[in-house]
């Protein structure tokens, strides 16, 4: 009964406009080669734990942890009019939280982590992806791939948003460093901006 | 008690030599733009279901579905002396099974899928990755990233194995098309081969 499923989750797959977030730690793999495995997992889980809490508090849907990367979306299964704004505020809160993550790392003699975050908005296919033996609510579409390519260009501490995300924003934010990125598999270049914070901060 | 945990799974993270498999469908995202969302999910899940069955029957550990990509490892949590051979035989069986997947797709007017598979062997950190709210048995290390880069070079229907996988093989296989790939983040190039089948086939 559709009234009993207000979020409109279609198991068979449907189109959703979402703001996609991908974050990772710059140079994490190389850094991990100089540490004991237990230290690497401790450091990784401290970061993932802190970021998971913030993403969930922002009503983001975590799709995956892929090594040190986090893939999340805002807008599925449930659409909200402020999906892009919540994604941006979530990214700003995540960057701010890295100071505390790094204080804990420093206290244990662990290296400082610097995270990049990419945000991109577009229409994707959302659905239960997988097999009878293993499935998950997941996403397919060019906007997913584009987000990953934008993430490749992020510096440590940076949040890069695509122009498609910028167009959805209702709040005022400080944007700098407009760039056009060439993305494999996409004919047109993708315009991105570095987001510094809310304009009233 | 270690005797009660014969697989030696260390929750805190430990080093494992594994053969990593990454498969995906060439051009899947572009193809999906010309189909209804439900058709895309049907087609994706048919492929993922068939491949999951084969990977599980080969004692592979599925790490993730990432869109149309499958990430799996052979050798963790449980090491077996034939990890690389099982990975290669699994990949050959997966390619063979695509004929049946495509027969089913054709019967429904869906396009033909062509899968690429990359295999690479190396030492990674394995452990429970994530947070208290969400965690999984996952893997970190350069060999994971290298596998993804090798996969970028796969043609449809092809299985590319790195030289590190080749060196672990006990069986005889037909290898062709030796190449040296430049991989971002790795100083040395990675030598790969196309694997055609078992030498006695």
Cβ-contact B21, B74 below 8 angstroms? yes
Say yes or no to pLDDT of A136 above 70: yes
Tokens found for residue A140: 């397919």
Could you say which DSSP state residue A3 is in? G
| Model pLDDT, residue A130 | 87
Dump pLDDT digits (tens) for B134-185: 888 999 999 999 999 999 999 999 999 999 999 999 999 999 999 999 887 6
- The domain that holds A77 is classified in CATH as 3.30.70.1230
Nearest Cβ partner for B52 among A128, A131, A139:
A131
Would you say residue B42 lies in a domain? Answer: yes
Tell me the Ramachandran region of residue A197: left when phi exceeds 0, alpha when psi lies from -120 to 50, beta otherwise: left
Per-residue pLDDT band at B119 (split at 50, 70, 90): very high
Q: How far B69 CA sits from the closest chain A CA (Å)?
A: 10
Task: Return mean pLDDT, chain A.
Answer: 91
Residues of chain A contacting B140 with CB distance shorter than 8 Å: 28-29, 32, 40-41, 44, 67-68
Complex ipTM over 0.85:
yes
Burial label, B176 (beta-carbon count in 10 A; 0-12, 13-18, 19+): exposed
Per-residue pLDDT band at B3 (split at 50, 70, 90): very low
Say yes or no to pLDDT of B51 above 50: yes
A190/A173 Cα distance (integer angstroms): 20
In terms of residue numbers, what domain contains B172? Answer: 12-198
Say yes or no to pLDDT of B199 above 90: no
Per-residue pLDDT band at B8 (split at 50, 70, 90): very low
Question: B133 and A40: CB-CB below 8 Å?
Answer: no
Closest CA to A142 of B58, B21, B30: B30
Would you say residue B91 lies in a domain? Answer: yes
Domains in chain B: how many in total?
Answer: 1
Torsion of CA B191, B192, B193, B197, to 10 degrees: 130
Say yes or no to pLDDT of B4 above 70: no
Cβ-contact B168, B189 below 8 angstroms? no
| Model pLDDT, residue A188 | 82
Would you say residue B47 lies in a domain? Answer: yes
Would you say residue B90 lies in a domain? Answer: yes
Q: What is the mean pLDDT of the segment spanning A105-118?
A: 96
**Residue for token pair 């797709």:** B105
| Model pLDDT, residue B61 | 95
Q: What is the mean pLDDT of the segment spanning B81-106?
A: 97
Cβ-contact A122, A133 below 8 angstroms? no
The reported pTM is: 0.91
Say yes or no to pLDDT of B5 above 60: no
| Model pLDDT, residue A39 | 94
Dump pLDDT digits (tens) for A155-191: 999 999 999 999 999 999 999 999 999 887 677 899 9
Question: B140 and A56: CB-CB below 8 Å?
Answer: no
Q: Does A32 touch chain B (CB under 8 A)?
A: yes
Would you say residue B128 lies in a domain? Answer: yes
Best residue in B14, B66, B122, B153 to probe A by mutation, most A CBs within 10 Å? B66
A171/A88 Cα distance (integer angstroms): 10
Could you say which DSSP state residue A79 is in? -
Would you say residue B2 lies in a domain? Answer: no
């Amino acid at each position: 009964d559709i009234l009993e499923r207000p979020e409109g989750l279609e198991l068979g797959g449907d189109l959703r406009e979402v703001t996609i977030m991908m974050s990772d730690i710059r140079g994490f793999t190389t850094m991990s080669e100089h540490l004991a495995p237990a230290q690497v997992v401790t450091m990784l889980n401290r970061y993932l734990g802190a970021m998971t809490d913030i993403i969930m508090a922002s009503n983001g849907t975590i799709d995956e942890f892929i090594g040190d990367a986090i893939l999340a979306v805002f807008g599925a299964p449930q659409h909200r009019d402020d999906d892009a704004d919540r994604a941006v505020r979530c990214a700003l809160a995540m960057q701010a939280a890295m100071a505390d993550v790094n204080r804990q790392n420093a206290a244990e003699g662990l290296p400082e982590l610097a995270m990049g975050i990419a945000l991109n908005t577009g229409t994707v296919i959302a659905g239960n992806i997988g097999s009878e033996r293993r499935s998950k609510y997941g996403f397919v579409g060019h906007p997913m791939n584009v987000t990953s390519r934008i993430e490749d260009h992020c510096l440590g501490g940076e949040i890069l948003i695509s122009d498609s995300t910028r167009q959805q924003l209702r709040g005022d934010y400080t944007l700098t460093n407009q760039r056009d990125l060439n993305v494999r598999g996409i004919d047109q270049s993708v315009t991105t901006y570095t987001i510094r914070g809310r304009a009233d901060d």
